Amino acid sequence: MLARMKKIGLENNTSQNLEQVFNQLNEYADKGAKIKDFVNEIAETAGVSKNQIYSLWLEVLKSR
């Protein structure tokens, strides 16, 4: 997981923060949520850009 996050530019965040973001995205995916419904909330909470959240969302979907 961390290697994928490094690929999309999230390596500057702590690994704990990255894991929380990844887990949160997985929970939303499990519920069938759409990225547009929560990208702002996660970006603000996690302190990462929306583009990084979108990239990570794609990684979550690929891992399923």
Query: What is the secondary structure of 6-32 as a DSSP string?
Result: HHTT-TTS-HHHHHHHHHHHHHHHHTT
Name which of 28, 23, 27 is nearest 46 in CA terms. 23
**Which pLDDT band holds residue 31 (cuts at 50, 70, 90)?**
very high
The token pair that represents 25 in the structure block:
């995205």
**Which pLDDT band holds residue 11 (cuts at 50, 70, 90)?**
low
Is the Cβ–Cβ distance between 49 and 10 less than 8 Å? no
With 0.85 as the threshold, say if the pTM is over it: no
Task: Give yes or no for residue 53 having a pLDDT over 70.
Answer: yes
Residue 25: give the domain boundaries.
2-62
Number of folded domains that form the chain:
1
**Which pLDDT band holds residue 10 (cuts at 50, 70, 90)?**
low
Residues 6+ apart with CB under 8 A from 61: 29
